[in-house]
Structure 1
């Protein structure tokens, strides 16, 4: 990450770390978070958390959840519900992750989770945003096991990744209830969405759940470009057009270091060894 960025830049780059977490790129997520916080710490007041701290903890907790480490995600998310972080947007957007981590870790996390859900309910009511209300229903479903709450969550429009996560959680609930046919439908939808988004850890989880219903999940051969994450593909296309790492970084609001890393990861997936080979590929 480039030094001297402001708080707005920190948020934009931390969103990139969240994308790396969703894609299961642990190395990129952790290195990006470390660089972001190191840059922000240089301008932070003594005794204060640097700009982007909340976004960094959210990205790392999402990485942990995707990798099946809810016990590691929980202590990252709980403090975000306390002052001075409780008013941050991440304190609201991270509540569904907190609830899932607590349920999967089988701790319940006590009053911290219950209070967080009440805050999310209040936020959803004030904002009137359907995606926020959908997340409220998902949280209630996880905490109560009420199927009606899952159905309500899925009826409301939501971001594709969050919709797929709700489908996955509902499919898991249906499988545990021994409703295998219903579970398969929900899990297939989740798997298809995660595959489109390049959310590999979540795809693997949906795939495992689908196979646990007794129905092997299909594994279709993919073209080389389909092996790339959405960001790798975007960068590879720009590089194939002749743009430099610096130009790509400026266009995508990334650092040249991040662009170089994505290309390094993309080359073996595409079966090439040099930048000049990209122009000949069907990207």
Structure 2
């Protein structure tokens, strides 16, 4: 019986991959991932659930996306959504946003400080606090994020 279930999930995924139906494919990946998780096949479940989450995110199916996230969370994952990347500045203070935008535009700490009436050392501190929030380690990465 269990082998039959798995064969049916795999057959359905093959059909959707071949003939389209992105929502149905994501939903089947979710169901298959749930089934795998309940059988303690964590690695396989993680793969299917992450694919389902990505599919629902692309489609904007927030209810299904939440269900996939809760399944991943049950596996001990902390899924990050692509939506978080839409606004990389949301976790920054207003002062950090100003400093980061000017740094991404190519200004030095001294130039930014002169423009904002702050010391270059304060500018450095703001960048030091902002980099981990943005997931960057260098100034050039600010430009790559599209902040310049």
* TM-score normalised by L of structure 2: 0.51
1:223 and 2:82 are equivalent in the alignment: no
> Aligned partners of 1:145, 1:203: CA distance in 2, in Å?
27
Deviation string for 1:179-206 (max 9, x for gaps)?
0100000001000010000000000000
Distance change >3 Å, CA 184–CA 204, structure 1 → 2: same
* TM-score normalised by L of structure 1: 0.27
> Aligned partners of 1:145, 1:210: CA distance in 2, in Å?
25
> Aligned partners of 2:12, 2:81: CA distance in 1, in Å?
29
Do the aligned partners of 2:34 and 2:45 also contact (CA within 8 Å) in 1? yes
The aligned counterpart of 1:167 is: 29
1:158 CA displacement: 3.6
Distance change >3 Å, CA 170–CA 206, structure 1 → 2: same
The aligned counterpart of 2:6 is: 147
After TM superposition, the structure 1 = structure 2 runs for residues 204-223 of structure 1, keeping only pairs within 5 Å, are 204-220=66-82, 221-223=84-86
> Aligned partners of 2:23, 2:31: CA distance in 1, in Å?
12
Q: Pick from 189, 195, 220 the counterpart of residue 51 of structure 2.
A: 189
| Larger Rg computed on CA atoms | 2
1:216 CA displacement: 1.5
Q: CA RMSD in A?
A: 2.0
- Listed as ranges, the gaps of 5+ residues in structure 2 are 88-148
> Aligned partners of 2:5, 2:20: CA distance in 1, in Å?
20
Distance change >3 Å, CA 199–CA 145, structure 1 → 2: farther
Deviation beyond 6 Å, 4+ runs, structure 1: none
> Aligned partners of 2:81, 2:56: CA distance in 1, in Å?
14
1:218 CA displacement: 1.7
Aligned length: 82
- The alignment partner of 1:218 has SS state of coil
1:150 CA displacement: 0.3
Do the aligned partners of 2:57 and 2:81 also contact (CA within 8 Å) in 1? no
> Aligned partners of 1:182, 1:200: CA distance in 2, in Å?
23
After TM superposition, the structure 1 = structure 2 runs for residues 76-95 of structure 1, keeping only pairs within 5 Å, are none
